[in-house]
Amino acid sequence: MEARVLPQGEGALLLQIGAVDAAPEIGLQRRLLDLVARCWKPQPGVIELVPGIHNLLLRLDPLRADNATLRRLLLAAWEQAEAREPKGRLHELGVRYEGEDLEALAAHAGLSTREVVALHSGAVYDVAALGFQPGFAYLLGLPAALQMPRLAQPRLRVPAGSLAIGGALCGVYPAASPGGWRLIGHCEAPLFDGEPLLRPGDRVRFHPHA
């Protein structure tokens, strides 16, 4: 798998694994998270590591960072990293499966809504990365049958706690916001109260409320 290091402005370096529009892969993402957890030491001029899906952004102070060294270290760390079982917490989150798009998604999948609920809650998801909103976790591991592209026109307002599917990813919106993912349920878990509940390296299982 091809690893490249590119600048993103003079204040950031991006480690990009494979194509920028590839289908998300759990193994690749686990290797990236292993890089961050186990194969990277603090370096002068690096302010923060921001994992994405199949990429890692290093935010830099351009007047202190040595880009050539960082590039070399990033590629070496990628070579060293391995796709390991996530070692973080397993979160068991209760869900009311009654989202606005649940029926449409079931129809798209050629399944009944009950089958969708069984499939979705039967999977264990990796927390791949955080972003979009404080505490929003991109989850990997959605069964292929449930994948569905996001809406062409995002909703102006998705309620806080909405469980949603976008392409091959799913996630729960910590706060109300505009959003383009398919809404399939509602989750009450407090995803951000000063700190995120879900972290890269954690896993999540959803339990349907009776």
Site residues, another protein (CB under 8 A)? 6-12, 14, 16, 20-22, 24, 47-55, 57, 59, 62-63, 67, 129-136, 138, 192, 195-196
Q: Say if CB 74 and CB 58 are below 8 A apart.
A: yes
Reduced to 3 states (helix: H, G, I; strand: E, B; else coil), residue 49 is strand
Q: Which is nearer to another protein, 116 or 168 (CB)?
A: 168
Measured from the CB of residue 60, what is the shortest distance to another protein in angstroms?
A: 10
> Measured between alpha carbons, how far is 175 from 181 in angstroms, rounded to an integer?
14
Displacement of CA 149 from its chain's centroid (Å): 16
Measured from the CB of residue 9, what is the shortest distance to another protein in angstroms?
A: 3
Q: Which is nearer to another protein, 15 or 102 (CB)?
A: 15
> Measured between alpha carbons, how far is 100 from 89 in angstroms, rounded to an integer?
30
Measured from the CB of residue 135, what is the shortest distance to another protein in angstroms?
A: 6
Measured from the CB of residue 181, what is the shortest distance to another protein in angstroms?
A: 12
Displacement of CA 141 from its chain's centroid (Å): 10
